[in-house]
Amino acid sequence: MKRRILPLVLSCSLIFGAVPAYAHSGRTDSAGGHHDYNNVSGLGSYHYHHGYGPHLHPNGVCPYESSQSQPTTVPSKPVAKPSQPVVQPSKPAVAPSKPAAVATPSMPKNTMTVYVNGQRIFADNYIIDDTTYLPIRAVADSLGATISFDAIAKTATITVPQKTNVITETVKEKDVAMSNYLIASIYAANMTRTMFFIETDTKYLLTNDTQQNRELLAYYIEELRGYADTIYNLKLDLLYNLADDATALANNAEKCIALAESNLVPSPAYDNYYKFIIDYLFEGLEEADIIYDNAFDYALSK
């Protein structure tokens, strides 16, 4: 038993030998301190332990317990003064939708070829609701019309020439040839009829030379000259040859009247003038036939 206790004592001495010992006698009181009259601790005649080394309580405060009870205060970083928050505009819960696109009416462009009085209109045209629209000036120009605008009243006025002028111009351009042939045919028929009357009355004077017959012959001669003068004045070139034959026939008929008034009927001179009358009559008939044929052929070609 003594052998076991000795090693235990040695072990304890070895373990606690490094701890400094405050060798002084006396138990501690209820405050955890006791008197040290010999001042072994060097702290005076009274000091405290209560689980610590000898120490004093300055101002009644244990330095060990006060240091443990008071938490270590770590200076905190200064709190930055909060800046005033920037107020952001709140977004609407639902984004506003874009306005719906307005439907543009369909306007086909230049799908029609437009003519006015046979003249093509080279201007943009549009079809809206099955109706073709053109610039007003393009239409006015095609009609040879004038256009005026009133900015205050917001009106446009188109003045179109009289239609009679257009019709007259059309007749002159398209039907002048047919008209000339028609006039020539009428003149040819009347002139050849009068030439027949003159030839007949001139022959009649050979057997019945009376004043009445002379006056009737003179009447037809004047009528025939009137036709010829009209042809020359109107420049109806289709009838020039017939007018020349009619004039020559009238001249010879007047000479026959002069011989009759001189009582030289019958006579060789009278027979000679009468022979010329017959020749010019047949030449006139041939010219008239040419006019009839040309008028007929032209009418068929149209």
pLDDT tens digit sequence for 209-267: 999 999 999 999 999 999 999 999 988 898 999 999 999 999 999 999 999 999 999 99
Looking at the structure, tell me whether residues 220 and 131 fall in a common domain: no
The verdict on whether omega for the bond into residue 266 sits within 30 degrees of 0, i.e. cis, is yes
Contact (CB, 8 A) for 205 and 256: yes
Backbone dihedral angles phi then psi of residue 120, each to the nearest 5 degrees: -75, 140
Assign residue 18 a region (left: φ > 0; alpha: ψ between -120 and 50; beta: otherwise): alpha
Cα-trace Rg, the chain: 76
Residue 23 vs residue 251, higher pLDDT:
251
Residue 242 lies in a domain: yes
- DSSP 8-class letter at 25: -
CA distance 290 to 76: 138
Q: Is the pLDDT of residue 284 over 90?
A: yes
Question: Which carries the bigger pLDDT value, residue 97 or residue 3?
Answer: 97
For the whole model, what pTM was predicted? 0.44
Same domain for 223 and 270, yes or no, is yes
Instruction: Reply yes or no on whether the pLDDT at 182 is more than 60.
Output: yes
> Pick from 257, 256, 258: which is nearest to 271 by CA?
256
Residues 154 and 225 in one domain: no
Q: Of the candidates 159, 180, 213, which is a domain's last residue? A: 159
* CB neighbours of residue 268 within 10 Å: 8
What pLDDT, on a 0 to 100 scale, did the predictor assign at position 192? 96
- What is the overall mean pLDDT for the chain? 77
> Is 199 found in the same domain as 291?
yes
Spatial separation of the C-alpha atoms in residues 30 and 60, rounded to whole Å:
14
Residue 249 lies in a domain: yes
Q: What is the CATH number of the domain that holds 212?
A: 1.20.1440
CA gap 190, 208 in Å, rounded: 26
Residue 97 lies in a domain: no
How far apart, in whole angstroms, are the C-alpha atoms of residue 175 and residue 108? 42
**C-alpha to C-alpha distance for 185 and 191, rounded to whole angstroms:** 10
Average pLDDT (87-105) is 57
Longest Cα pair distance anywhere in the chain, in angstroms?
A: 224
From CA 258, how far away is CA 202, in angstroms rounded?
11
Q: What is the band of 196 on the pLDDT scale with cuts at 50, 70, 90? A: very high
Range name among 6-20, 95-109, 133-147 with the lowest pLDDT average:
6-20
Residue 17 pLDDT class (50, 70, 90 cuts): very low
Could you tell me if 149 and 237 lie in one domain?
Answer: no
More confident site: 40 or 233: 233
Q: What are the respective helix, strand and coil percentages of the chain, to the nearest 5?
A: 50, 10, 40
Handedness of CA 20, 24, 27, 31 (dihedral sign): negative
Confidence of residue 62 (pLDDT cuts 50, 70, 90): confident
| Confidence (pLDDT) at 302 | 66
| Selection from 150, 102, 142 nearest residue 125 by Cα | 142
* Location of structure tokens 């209109």: 121
Residue 82 is predicted with a pLDDT of: 53
Residues 131 and 217 in one domain: no
Q: Domain boundary residue among 159, 193, 220? A: 159
Number of domains in the chain: 2
Q: List the domain range (segments joined by +) for residue 123.
A: 115-159
Query: What is the C-alpha to C-alpha distance for residues 111 and 29, in angstroms, rounded to an integer?
Result: 125
Using pLDDT thresholds of 50, 70 and 90, give the confidence band for residue 16. Answer: very low
Question: What mean pLDDT is predicted for residues 92-111?
Answer: 60
Selected residue with higher pLDDT from 36 and 204: 204
Question: Residue 193 falls within a domain, yes or no?
Answer: yes
Query: Same domain, yes or no, for 296 and 267?
Result: yes
Residue 283 lies in a domain: yes
